[in-house]
Structure 1
Amino acid sequence: MMAFGLLLSCVLLTSGFSAEISVFVQTGDSVQLDIQTQQLPDFDLLSWSNDNSENIVKYLHNSKEVKLHSSYKDRVDFNNKNFSLTLKNMQKTDSRLYTARTSGESDKNIVTYRVSVIDAVEAPVLTVNSNSSSPDPCNFTCIGSNITINFIYNGSSCSPEEVTSDHYTLRLSCIGVSIMCNYSNPVSWKIDTKKVNKICTVNKGKLEAAPAFLPWVIVICLIALASAVIGFCIYKRKKGTQKNEQTIYAEVDVSVILLFFINHRLSFIF
């Protein structure tokens, strides 16, 4: 696997002092520890060592000779141009301090790394407690290892919730109709997502109610129109308007056509 990118803090270098740089690496990966070469003084010997006082690498400047510690011989690469150290196949037991030092007219610590080797996160689990017979919103539970977030979805929006423990972060958020449970650490992340409109009663109710609205509006409008036409015909008869036989037949035809149209529309809608 390729080396995971270094997560570096701001480095303050002064004479005889170096700040620690925190680095996280996934178990089994490699990590490269660098030196700011412009900060190097003249030296006879450059070494990389750990906090167990083991000299992982010794580099003799004049002879260009590189000496590796026996327990690291097959696990390290040393660059004699920029003096960086690459540690391979990192395990949790390799979590410790690593320091570069020079020796010459005086000894000097150049840089110190605090390397933390951690496992990739396991996939989180997002569950929903939804009662199909209840109008209450859905209750979601987001679980990542030993971290848990409980969350109620109100059917429209939500505010992200986040819990951090040690180097692990659990975050529950929503975008549109999707609920997302994201579990991460400095070297990896995994996510579980669910569509709430396929689960939550509150959303199903809204989706079922919407289509029924339009047909009822059409029915009401048709009934109102029929009532207005029939009322107009009755009004004309009461006023004693002279009508010839053709006109009477025309009115009957209009009423028959209108009733046929209403019945046809009702059968289509239902």
Structure 2
Amino acid sequence: MSRCSATLSTMTPYSVFLSALYVFSFWFRGLQGHPMETLFVLEGDDLSMVIHGPTPVDQFLWRATIQLKKYTILTYQPGTEPKKYYGKRAEFSKTTFSLQIKNLRLNESGLYEAVVISATQDIVAEYHVTVQERVSPVVLNVSSVSLSPESCKVTVTCSTQSSSLNSTFTCTPRTCSEDGEDPAEVVTSDGSLQIYLSNGLNAVCNHSNKVSWSKATMEIKPLCFEDDDIPYINPQQGNLLIIIPFFLVILILVGILGAIYKQRKKNKREINSPGSDDLSPNGDQSPTVYSMLGPSSIPLEPIPRQTASPEGIYAQVDKHGRA
């Protein structure tokens, strides 16, 4: 589970009472059917408010209730110039009866109302305005990294000017996940501080309120695994990865040498077999000169027949001896 730690600024009983009073006021006016809106404004921005319903024909005013004190911002009687009590920062439209307050200050949070002054004061617009300052920047750091054969745990710390938050993530070679079902979060007086995981890869620290936010992102997976394709390998797995390929290479070499030996033995047997000189490698009879030359294309002349045998040398010697 994620462990959270935060330095929360304490709220005074007076501020708690004001908050409860505002909530009760909204609930009561909601029962009466008055229009009501909630606005959050960044400190230094302008506040714009309009009335609901038709344009008033009687005397009209904008007022504010701030810290239980009521202030009249301006009054207006149709056909005359409006009387401003809020300084030059208040701008009023005689056409739409809208009001704009420029450069709103942090201490100007409160209840703003548009009222038609007649026999009964009718509220034609009501705004609960909360002015907030911009949230402070966040700093995201790694607190610890714990490696194991199966996974890796990374603890990060997100800090602001007034609070801090810790969260732990578990990473594998494929992805990272949060420890716990929900993101780590703490709510402070100036906003919400949250750490969560994005895309199974990035730790995100977000500091925000209704009008601003500050964010820091850190890629945590490389803190555990430098290469996504190379997971954690213990020594025994490393020995197996070396031995198995070695035996595979030996088996392949033995198979190749055995095939060469068998082929040579077969060739030697064929050479020593009878009639192997007259046979071609394919088992056919070796070609002769006559088979290679083929039948002669030159016509043969018939040999003349002799009527008498020529005298041989022995016959001539025999005749000579007789003589």
TM-score over 0.5 for the alignment?
yes
Name structure 1 gaps, 5 residues minimum.
Answer: 1-9, 247-270
The one-letter amino acid of 2:70's match is S
CA distance in 2, matches of 1:79, 1:228: 98
Q: Secondary structure at the match of 2:94?
A: coil
Superposed CA deviations along residues 17-53 of structure 1, whole A, max 9, x for unmatched, are 6354321111111111121134x6x541110012233
CA distance in 1, matches of 2:72, 2:59: 12
Matched with 1:197 is: 221
User: Where do residues 149-188 of structure 1 align in structure 2 (5 Å cutoff)?
Assistant: 149-155=165-171, 156-158=176-178, 160-166=183-189, 168-174=191-197, 175-188=199-212
Write 1 or 2 for the structure with the bigger share of strand.
Answer: 1
Matched with 1:113 is: 127
CA distance in 2, matches of 1:68, 1:21: 24
CA distance in 1, matches of 2:31, 2:230: 73
Shift of 1:171: 2.0
- The structure 1 residue matched to 2:77, chosen from 47, 52, 60, is 60
- Residues 53, 124 of structure 2: 8 Å contact kept: no
Shift of 1:181: 0.6
- Residues 92, 100 of structure 2: 8 Å contact kept: yes
Matched with 1:138 is: 154
User: Where do residues 218-233 of structure 1 align in structure 2 (5 Å cutoff)?
Assistant: 222-233=249-260
Name structure 2 gaps, 5 residues minimum.
Answer: 1-25, 233-237, 272-323
Superposed CA deviations along residues 144-190 of structure 1, whole A, max 9, x for unmatched, are 44443321111122353333334611221122321111110001011
**Residue 73 in 1 paired to residue 87 in 2?**
yes
Matched with 1:46 is: 60
CA distance in 2, matches of 1:141, 1:130: 9
Superposed CA deviations along residues 57-92 of structure 1, whole A, max 9, x for unmatched, are 11112x1421111xx221011112221111111111
Matched with 2:38 is: 22
CA distance in 2, matches of 1:219, 1:25: 71
**Residue 83 in 1 paired to residue 97 in 2?**
yes
Matched with 2:278 is: none
CA distance in 2, matches of 1:219, 1:81: 91
- Residues 44, 60 of structure 1: 8 Å contact kept: yes
Shift of 1:106: 2.5
The one-letter amino acid of 1:27's match is E
Superposed CA deviations along residues 177-206 of structure 1, whole A, max 9, x for unmatched, are 2111111000101100011133x22x2375
> How large is the RMSD of aligned CA atoms in angstroms?
3.6
Q: Secondary structure at the match of 1:29?
A: coil
TM-aligned CA distance change 1:18 to 1:27, over 3 Å: same
Q: Structure 2 length as normaliser, TM-score?
A: 0.59
TM-aligned CA distance change 1:27 to 1:205, over 3 Å: same
* Identity over aligned pairs, percent: 24
TM-aligned CA distance change 1:120 to 1:15, over 3 Å: closer
Residues paired across the two proteins, number = 226
- The structure 1 residue matched to 2:266, chosen from 237, 241, 249, is 241
CA distance in 1, matches of 2:64, 2:39: 14
CA distance in 2, matches of 1:103, 1:23: 25
Superposed CA deviations along residues 92-118 of structure 1, whole A, max 9, x for unmatched, are 121122111101233212222221211
